[in-house]
Amino acid sequence: MSVTLNQVRAGLFLDSVVLMQISRSLASVEGVEDAALMMATPANLDILSDAGLLAATRPAAGPGDLLIAVRAGDPASAEAALARAAERLEKPLVAAADGDSFSPRTLQGAARICLEANLALISVPGDFAGSEARKALRAGLNVMIFSDNVPLEEEIALKREARDRQLIVMGPDCGTAIIGGVPLAFANRVPRGDIAIVGASGTGIQEASSLIARNGGGISHAIGVGGRDLSEPVAGISTLTALEWLESDASTAHVVILSKPPADSVASQILETVASSSKTFTVCFLGARNVSLPANATLARTLKGAAADALGEQRAPVPFDSGQLARPVVGDRQRICGLFSGGSLSAEAQVVLIDRGHAVTSNAPVPGAGAVSKDSAVHELIDLGDDAYTRGRPHPMIDPAVRDEPLIAALADPGVGVILLDVVIGYGAHADPAGHLAGLLEAHWRSGPLVVASVTGTDADPQGWSRQTSSLTRAGVLVAPSNADAAALALACLDAR
Amino acid sequence: MGSGSVVAIAAESDLPPVHSRNIWHDGPLCGHRQQIIHAATIGSLAARVFQCAADGRVAAVFRQSFYVDIAGSWICIVRYGVGNGPINVVLKNTPGHVWPLEIKVGNDVQVSRSELLVGEGFTVHTGLARRWSPPPVPASSLADLARGLNALAAAVQGRIPRRGLGSFLTGSWPSSGAPLEALKARASVRALCGWLWSGSGSDLEVPMAVSTLVGLGPGLTPSGDDFLGGALIALARLRREDLACRLYWQIQPDLPSRTGAISRAHLSAAAAGEGLEALHAALDAVLTGASGSIGQRLSEIDRIGHCSGWDALAGAVTVLRSAPRIWSRSEATVA
């Protein structure tokens, strides 16, 4: 014999989506035959009566009241359903989290059930990223586009639309952000602090934020803007938005701007904004010289320099004495072969070498460096995260095996004196990149070049900076405390002959 | 970067999953206890409430909105992105604006010419808000409408929610297996169709059976109410305010006893020819035969409540199908 229970919630209004969610939730309780939550209008009372959901004694309810109706095979099941209703009605503003909730298949669906969300992270093939980003913007969400291969015109259109909607588009090709303490995509776990980073460079943000964290500082927010944001066509739209927002952020005292050298017109606009700000700034346009800065900003040539400047004198990293750790290279090996997973880390290493008077080539050259050539006498620093290496393959930060082949070749190259590497850890990165590297070196490294590396990350990261550093040291790698220091150490090894 | 599943990666960390947190809450864009938010737009009927100072109370709080009862006039304060409507006040997309707001049913409300104060912690400024009204009725013809109805019939395939009265969009009558509200509505919708098809300018009374749609079906605004609201708005779009008026006067006396206050507020707006912006956009796309945009318009309809958008569209389309009888030639060609 079925049992029908009704409960009236006088004057309680719930939106239709929540009403349906709770109805489904009650119907899924074991032993429940049918359940409904409806406004207790006369028409609905008739419907409930026809459905066998109205108790023998009609409940006293008006059209503005909510009626909970349950029919179950036994009293206990009916009571259990009403108890669940009571529980769910206590938190009607929270999207359902139990089994009856649905997994959204679209951005709009996600936005509907997760109303407190205000950012969408887009990670789909580049051809579709623009369309998804547009949907997110129109749903009132800020956007982080992890995807690459988004056409430039699309990026410009999206960023303009975001600006008009008082939103921001981070990306495309934005691999790193830390917003309000939450790492997004490739990012490191760093403490909260008063330093913000606005960066067109993912690994640049990771290196700078990690150095700041390891030297006692903290990050308020790190906002990635995508590698093309400071180009002339894009005109720094997202960077300017980020600076505007950070200006009104009480938790930020100092802002670091990281980018490869921007277009002149864009640099002028950025620096005008900097000049009008109440905050202090460190500007690091990797490889740029002779940048005319306003009084509240200082120029850093490297990521390490940017971190040190942001930390201030009292917390600046202890100077690294590369001579103490350097070992002489064997024979007349002349070259440094850099194999980087991070583009900005490759750029920073180029700057260090150029500043010390060395000729450098790269597939992603900074000002003063040359394009990769067959000239075996010149240092060559390769960004293995470049599109040319990652098309159809995972990024080397996700799969360090991407670096295996060129590394094995470099180990066997009689002209290479030092192999310079980065190891990037943190969320999104490989679970044990140092372990992978150590294994490869054990199998292929008999003699020949020295291997110098640094680890980008913190001890709070899942892989642990200290554990990764120890793995490398045990494998015979010379480990420097920063990427810039590793480049300096590589040169010191060449000089130590 | 690439196209890997970054969200999944982030969720594997020991931090709470990214999607479970409002990332701006404690960041640079955080809200403050005293929230002052500007309205972006204000619906034409909502604007009337601000014409003189009055007191009221918060009557309902939802995930994306809250309703305020000002001396019997209901307006709805909605977050940015929800959409314009006649009784809606749409808030600006203010960075750091925390939603859901800390507003509770029963909070006191004070309205002045350009402000709405809720309790002691929240103020909506409406002074700079743009006034929203439905767009002018577009130029159209029976041929345009026929094209639009055909495109709509194709576009709704497989999209109509099972619950509610959206099934009337298909042009066939609900049969066994349909939800109870649809079966119950059959007689009423038949009566409405009969009245509409009785001809333009007919003096026939609106059948009593139409009133049984009031308060019928699931949702905060029952499906039958949404259906009637759509029908009223469509009549206004066809320039048959006279028929809309007669239909409303038929159902109006029963409204207090048969449906809730929020539904009554929307029906009252519909009687004035005004509904949610998404409904107007969908209706006008059908009216003008803009078949290319109907898919997008349906996506917007889909965002209105659980099935309210579909219910309203079904009511509207029921009226549009009768246009050959109630739409005179001159009306059909003049914008």
Question: What per-residue confidence (pLDDT) applies to A37?
Answer: 92
A-chain residue closest to B24, CA distance:
A180
Minimal CA–CA distance to A164: which of A140, A145, A144, A146? Answer: A140
Strands B122-125 and B35-43, sheet pairing: parallel
pLDDT tens-digit profile, chain A (497 residues)? 789 999 999 888 887 778 888 888 898 899 999 999 999 999 999 999 988 999 988 888 999 899 999 999 999 999 999 999 988 887 644 443 333 444 566 777 777 667 678 899 998 777 788 888 998 898 888 999 998 888 999 999 999 999 998 899 999 989 999 998 889 999 999 999 999 999 998 999 999 999 999 999 999 999 999 999 999 999 999 999 999 999 988 899 999 999 999 999 999 999 999 999 999 999 999 988 888 999 999 999 999 999 999 999 878 778 899 888 999 998 889 899 999 999 999 999 999 999 999 999 999 999 999 998 776 678 999 999 887 777 666 788 988 888 999 999 999 999 999 999 999 999 989 999 999 999 999 998 888 899 999 999 999 999 999 999 999 999 999 999 999 999 999 999 999 87
Question: What per-residue confidence (pLDDT) applies to B36?
Answer: 77
Q: Do A262 and A155 belong to one domain?
A: yes
Strands B73-78 and B65-70, sheet pairing: antiparallel
Dihedral angle at the C-alpha atoms of A110, A38, B68, B118, nearest 10 degrees?
Answer: -60
Q: Least CB-CB distance to B3: which of A42, A111, A125?
A: A125
Q: Of the ranges A124-133, B29-38, B152-161, which is most confident? A: B152-161
- Domain assignment of residue A101, yes or no: no
Q: Is the pLDDT of residue B214 over 70?
A: yes
Q: Is the pLDDT of residue B2 over 60?
A: no
Question: What per-residue confidence (pLDDT) applies to B32?
Answer: 37
10 Å CB burial of residue B158 (0-12, 13-18, 19+) is exposed
With vertex at residue B99, the alpha carbon angle to CA B159 and CA B230, rounded to the nearest 5 degrees, is 35
Nearest-angstrom CA–CA distance, A205 and A209: 6
Q: Do A242 and A297 belong to one domain?
A: yes
Nearest-angstrom CA–CA distance, A297 and A279: 9
Q: Mutate one of A49, A106, A116 to test the B interface: name it (highest B CB count within 10 A).
A: A116
Q: Mutate one of A39, A246, A278, A344 to test the B interface: name it (highest B CB count within 10 A).
A: A39
- Domain assignment of residue A86, yes or no: yes
Contact B219 A16 (CB under 8 A): yes
Q: Least CB-CB distance to B27: which of A51, A124, A221?
A: A221
Nearest-angstrom CA–CA distance, B48 and B50: 5
Contact A185 B1 (CB under 8 A): yes
What type of residue sits at position B69?
Answer: D
Q: Do A355 and A475 belong to one domain?
A: yes
- In a 3-state reduction of DSSP, which class is residue B272? coil
Number of helices (H) and strands (E), helices first, in chain B? 13, 9
Nearest-angstrom CA–CA distance, A459 and A147: 28
- In a 3-state reduction of DSSP, which class is residue B17? coil
Strands A379-383 and A360-362, sheet pairing: parallel
**In the listed set A58, A90, A122, which residue is the last one of a domain according to the structure?**
A90
CB A277 within 8 A of CB A253: no
- Provide the CA A51 distance to its chain's centre, in angstroms: 52
The mean pLDDT value for B66-73 works out to 92
Question: What per-residue confidence (pLDDT) applies to B12?
Answer: 28
Q: Is the pLDDT of residue B27 over 60?
A: no
The mean pLDDT value for B3-28 works out to 30
The mean pLDDT value for B110-138 works out to 89
Q: In what helix (H) or strand (E) does residue B186 lie, and over which residues does it extend?
A: helix B180-197
Question: What per-residue confidence (pLDDT) applies to B329?
Answer: 46
10 Å CB burial of residue A460 (0-12, 13-18, 19+) is middle
Q: Do A260 and A328 belong to one domain?
A: no
Q: Do A417 and A464 belong to one domain?
A: yes
Q: Do A306 and A377 belong to one domain?
A: no
- In a 3-state reduction of DSSP, which class is residue B61? strand
Tokens describing residue A74: 């036994």
Q: Do A153 and A286 belong to one domain?
A: yes
Question: What per-residue confidence (pLDDT) applies to A104?
Answer: 66
Give the pLDDT band (50/70/90) at residue B95. low
Domain that holds residue A18: 3-90
Residue A71: CATH number of its domain: 3.30.70
Domains of chain B by residue range:
35-132, 142-333
Question: What per-residue confidence (pLDDT) applies to A399?
Answer: 87
Minimal CA–CA distance to B29: which of A176, A235, A271, A166? Answer: A166
Residue A488: CATH number of its domain: 3.40.50.261
CB A24 within 8 A of CB A32: no
Q: Do A334 and A438 belong to one domain?
A: yes
Question: What per-residue confidence (pLDDT) applies to B30?
Answer: 35
What Cα–Cα distance (Å) separates residue B294 from each residue in A225, B227, B281, B298, B303? 35, 19, 9, 6, 14
Q: Is the pLDDT of residue B247 over 80?
A: yes
- In a 3-state reduction of DSSP, which class is residue B78? strand
Q: Do A307 and A328 belong to one domain?
A: no
A contacts of B21 (beta carbons < 8 Å): 116, 180, 182
Contact A220 B27 (CB under 8 A): yes
B contacts of A246 (beta carbons < 8 Å): 28
Contact A20 B306 (CB under 8 A): yes
CB under 8 Å to A399, separation ≥6 — which residues? A393, A430
- Domain assignment of residue A412, yes or no: yes
Q: Do A364 and A226 belong to one domain?
A: no
Q: In which residue are the tokens 């139409």 written?
A: B210
- Domain assignment of residue A24, yes or no: yes
Nearest-angstrom CA–CA distance, A495 and B6: 43
DSSP state for residue B136 in the 8-state scheme: P
Strand-pair partners of A283: A257, A299
Nearest-angstrom CA–CA distance, A148 and A159: 15
- Domain assignment of residue A96, yes or no: no
**In the listed set A35, A60, A90, which residue is the last one of a domain according to the structure?**
A90
A contacts of B212 (beta carbons < 8 Å): 43
CB A73 within 8 A of CB A23: no
pTM recorded for the entire structure: 0.56
A-chain residue closest to B260, CA distance:
A64
Give the pLDDT band (50/70/90) at residue B29. very low
φ/ψ of residue B108, rounded to 5: -70, 145
- Domain assignment of residue A97, yes or no: no
Write out chain A in H/E/C secondary structure.
Answer: CCEEEEEEECCCCCCHHHHHHHHHHHHCCCCEEEEEEEECCHHHHHHHHHCCCCCCCCCCCCCCCEEEEEEECCHHHHHHHHHHHHHHHHCCCCCCCCCCCCCCCCHHHHHHHCCCCCEEEECCCHHHHHHHHHHHHHCCCEEEECCCCCCHHHHHHHHHHHHHCCCCEECCCCCEEEECCEEEECECCCCEEEEEEEECCHHHHHHHHHHHHHCCCCEEEEEECCCCCCCCCCCCHHHHHHHHHHHCCCCCCEEEEEECCCCHHHHHHHHHHHHCCCCEEEEEECCCCCCCCCCCEEECCCHHHHHHHHHCHHHCCCCCCHHHHCCCCCCCCCEEEEEECCHHHHHHHHHHHHHCCCCEEECCCCCCCEECCCCCCCEEEEECCCHHHHCCCCCCCCCHHHHHHHHHHHHCCCCEEEEEEEEECCECCCCCHHHHHHHHHHHHCCCCCEEEEEEECCCCCCCCHHHHHHHHHHCCCEEECCHHHHHHHHHHHHHCC
For B201-254, give the DSSP string.
T--PPPPGGGGGGTT-SSTTTTHHHHHHHHHHHHHHHTT-HHHHHHHHHHHGGG
Number of domains chain A contains = 3
Strands A219-224 and A192-199, sheet pairing: parallel
Strands A176-179 and A379-383, sheet pairing: unpaired
Count of alpha carbons within 13 angstroms of residue A62, beta-carbon side: 10
A contacts of B91 (beta carbons < 8 Å): none
- Domain assignment of residue A98, yes or no: no
Q: Please, what is the average pLDDT of chain B?
A: 83
Q: Least CB-CB distance to A39: which of B14, B222, B299?
A: B222
CB under 8 Å to A372, separation ≥6 — which residues? A361, A362, A363, A380, A382
**In the listed set A294, A315, A336, which residue is the last one of a domain according to the structure?**
A315
CB atoms within 10 A of CB A13: 23
A contacts of B104 (beta carbons < 8 Å): none
B contacts of A183 (beta carbons < 8 Å): 10, 13, 15
Give this complex's ipTM: 0.78
B-chain residue closest to A16, CA distance:
B219
- Domain assignment of residue A366, yes or no: yes
A-chain residue closest to B214, CA distance:
A43
Question: What per-residue confidence (pLDDT) applies to B195?
Answer: 92
Give the pLDDT band (50/70/90) at residue B127. confident
DSSP state for residue B129 in the 8-state scheme: P
Tokens describing residue A344: 């900005």
The mean pLDDT value for B250-259 works out to 94
Smallest Cα distance from B93 to chain A, Å: 7
Smallest Cα distance from A240 to chain B, Å: 15
Question: What per-residue confidence (pLDDT) applies to B80?
Answer: 82
Smallest Cα distance from A347 to chain B, Å: 17
Nearest-angstrom CA–CA distance, B312 and B227: 4
Q: Do A310 and A345 belong to one domain?
A: no
Q: Least CB-CB distance to B24: which of A108, A166, A180?
A: A180
B contacts of A251 (beta carbons < 8 Å): 27-28
Question: What per-residue confidence (pLDDT) applies to A391?
Answer: 66
Q: Do A311 and A331 belong to one domain?
A: no
- In a 3-state reduction of DSSP, which class is residue B67? strand
φ/ψ of residue A211, rounded to 5: -65, -40
* A·B CB contacts under 8 A: 219
Question: What per-residue confidence (pLDDT) applies to A493?
Answer: 96
CB A195 within 8 A of CB A171: no
Tokens describing residue A476: 């015979």
End-to-end CA distance of chain B: 51
* Rg of chain B in Å (alpha carbons): 21
Question: What per-residue confidence (pLDDT) applies to B98?
Answer: 58
